Structure 1
Amino acid sequence: MARFPYDEFAKGYLTELLSSIGNIDSSRKLATEIKEIDIYYTLNSQGVVDEQRKEVLGLLGRFATSSGIFEPFRNAATPDEIRSYANKLFDIFADINRKAKNEKRKVIQTELPRLWVLSPTASKALLKGFSATLDEGWMQGVYFCGENWKTVIVVIHKLPRTPETLWLRVLGRGKVWEQAVAEVQALGADNPLRSVAMNLLGNLKATLKVKQDRNKEDEKYLMQLSPIYERDLAEATERGLQQGVQQGQCIVVENLLTARFGSLDPELMAIVQPIVDLPASEYSNLLLQLANLSREELLARFNSGN
């Protein structure tokens, strides 16, 4: 699986999008032993999906017409990783069956969630090893492992480049990711998911900026995200949404401080607003210098009134 910061982005991104049409149980713990599932999706209390919201999510909305586990991978998923998450899926099946037995009823197959493995790429050998094949009625890139397995491998880089696949392609890598981000940026301001995606991409940019061991891919992503995020802030300011911009800046600063120091205690929280209130040039310079500042240096600057 991906590691911080990309896995945190993917988890937050899918949680925000899927919660628009259903419920998310984040880091659900299984009763059988101490295991966690990052994104466990279920339908709302009425057990129905809003068709209009489903349409906005495209292919991801189609996935969300029934309960499921969503596992995004930064790198190509390996057989061991897929088996590990399938094991969690089977533990959930056991929990559902135990509950049904206690209630003296039979389990309906539609109650059982699917495992959606979201992998940027996948080899032919991996797909063959899991007997994963294209299913009639589904597009290229969506491979089903057999109905009783309740597992689907979604190969993001094989998805057609259409509006329907956009929200999944944002979880891709390289050129697929770059194209998807450009498409999100080009969406109209009235799109209900554009601001959600851009805020989360802005948070990813902020986190990458203070990452100590950035690689070439991190640097490339930073270069693409920086002008997009700055342009969005400028546009928001021009529309007179200064309050919203400041709230967004506070979130960015909080994320930066958390990434730099591990957590936000009351002392660090107290300097978030003063940082946001700095003149634009000082604010930008401070964010750039943050990776090299110690906690003591940062607190001393604001506690001394400078």
Structure 2
Amino acid sequence: MTRQPHDQFAKQYLTELLTPHGQVQISREITSEVRQVDIWFLPTPSSSTPLQVLGLLGQMVSTACLVEPFRNAIGYMAVRNCLLKLFALYGDLQRKARREKNSVSETDLPCLWILSPSCSTKLLNGFGAKLDDSGNWVEGVYFLPELFKTALVAINQLPLTEETLWLRVLGRNRTQTQAINELVALPVGHPLRGNILEILANWRIKIEESEDLTEDERELIMNLSPAYLRWREETLEQGREQGREQGREQGREQGREQGREQGREQGNLEGQRLMVENLLAGRFGSIDLELSQTIEPLMQLPITERTQVLLNLSRQELLERFRKSLSD
């Protein structure tokens, strides 16, 4: 599996978590040979949401930093390429300071966090990466020598606590499965739960649309299934509840007896319509004019057939299925 789907997911995922706390730039370009860092983060001192809600991730991004998440275990050259990006950025900052007749202090330089599902002992030893002995950092966070301002996070070694949850979601195999199950089990009112479930569900949908799935992609689909199923269940329930509420409101306006009957019918229709719209948006990112014209024909299908069509047909198959209806 290429890194592109994971890059897209990881950037969206980390942006969702970090945006309330500061400025996030996606794919920031660095001069010289053009390089892009996955996440460049500048915390906002006056953020209304404390970074503590992100646990270990919040501790990591309490100062300006680069974040490079990897889907597969990182190798030597990948670490070196990350360091090249960091040093290129230092060069940019130094040149800017010179133009403005200022200087750059060590405390002004951002640090680099490399997130890997695992790190081999040989790699850690080769880069001189060591655990922190001050007690400020948990197991699994390895720091390169001080002046590199870089740390490797071996996600599979992080303790299984709520503090590390948001990083363990980016892991693999049992580490990721455990984290997603913990995420699903969070209270419905948790400030991060709903949006992250939706991001994970959309990631699964995009992977499932691929042809000739690799073993890694099949593993991902399995890992992401609990989040997808819970998101779908809650989205359907939300649609039904909104439909019922709209129906009750109309029922009150139209009279008790007649209103209750019409309200139930209208509420059911509105709930089903919202379910169709949410599933279309979840699968295809947005509902354009062509997709919007499939909503009414979809509503005419029995609910079991409708759900199968929405979950299994590609965009093109969906449009072809209802082409006659769209042209009438």
TM-score band by shorter chain is 0.7 to 0.9
The residue number in structure 2 matching 1:281 is 304
- Residue of structure 1 aligned with 2:229, choices 227, 230, 238: 227
- In terms of fraction of residues, the more helix-rich structure is 2
More divergent stretch after superposition (182-191 vs 280-289): 280-289
Equivalent residue number for residue 43 of structure 2: 43
RMSD, aligned α-carbons = 2.7
| Aligned-pair CA distance for 1:43 | 2.2
Q: After TM superposition, give the deviation of residue 52 of structure 1 in Å.
A: 4.7
Question: Aligned-pair distance for 1:74?
Answer: 0.6
**Deviation digits for residues 125-150 of structure 1, max 9, x if unmatched?**
11111111111211101111022101
What do residues 139-165 of structure 1 show as CA deviations (whole Å, max 9, x unaligned)?
A: 101111022101110011100010100
| 103 and 204 in structure 1: CA distance in 2 versus 1, 3 angstrom threshold | same
Q: Which residue of 2 aligns with 1:254?
A: 284
Q: CA deviation at 1:85?
A: 1.3
**RCO greater where, 1 or 2, for CA within 8 Å and sep 6 or more?**
1
Partners of 2:198 and 2:315 lie apart in 1 by 25
Give the corresponding residue for 1:86. 83
Q: Deviations over 1:93-141 (max 9, x none)?
A: 0000011111112212122111110000011111111111111211101
Amino acid aligned to 2:326: N
Alignment of 1:169-188 (within 5 A): 169-188=168-187
Q: Percent identity?
A: 35
CA drift of 1:60 comes to 0.6
- Which shows bigger deviation, 273-282 or 87-96? 273-282
Q: Please tell me the residue identity of whatever aligns with 1:249.
A: L
Q: Match for residue 12 of structure 2?
A: 12
Give how far 1:298 is off.
5.5
1:272 positional shift: 2.6
- 1:114 aligned to 105, 111, 133, which one? 111
Write out per-residue CA displacement over residues 154-187 of structure 1, whole angstroms, 9 at most, x where no aligned residue. Answer: 0111000101001111101111111111111111
Partner of 2:59: 62
Question: What's 1:212 paired with?
Answer: 211
Q: Where does structure 2 lack aligned partners over 5 or more consecutive residues?
A: 244-270
Pair 1:288–1:245, CA change in 2 (3 A): closer
2:288 is equivalent to residue 269 of structure 1: yes
Could you say what secondary structure the match of 1:9 adopts? Answer: helix
Matched residue, 2:258: none
Residue identity opposite 1:183 in structure 2: E
What do the CA deviations read for 1:42-64 (whole angstroms, capped 9, x no partner)?
Answer: 123xxx26485211111111111
Alignment correspondent of 2:126: 129
1:162 is matched with: 161
Measure the CA separation in 1 of the matches of 2:197 and 2:279: 13
TM-score, structure 1 normalization: 0.85
What whole-Å deviation, never above 9, does each CA across 1:238-278 have from its counterpart, x for those lacking one? 543859866643431323xxxxxxxx8xxx82123344552
**Alpha carbons of structure 1 residues 224 and 249: separation in structure 2 relative to 1, 3 Å:** same
**5+ residue gaps, structure 1:** 256-263
Structure 1 residue identity aligned to 2:69: P
The CA distance in 1 between the partners of 2:108 and 2:277, in whole Å, is 40
- Cα pair 1:12 1:200 within 8 Å, conserved: yes
1:151 match: 150
* Matched position secondary structure for 2:50: helix
Q: Radius of gyration: which is bigger? A: 2
Aligned residues: 291
Preserved contact between residue 89 and residue 115 of structure 1 (Cα < 8 Å): yes
Aligned to 1:304: 327
| Matching residue's letter, 2:107 | T
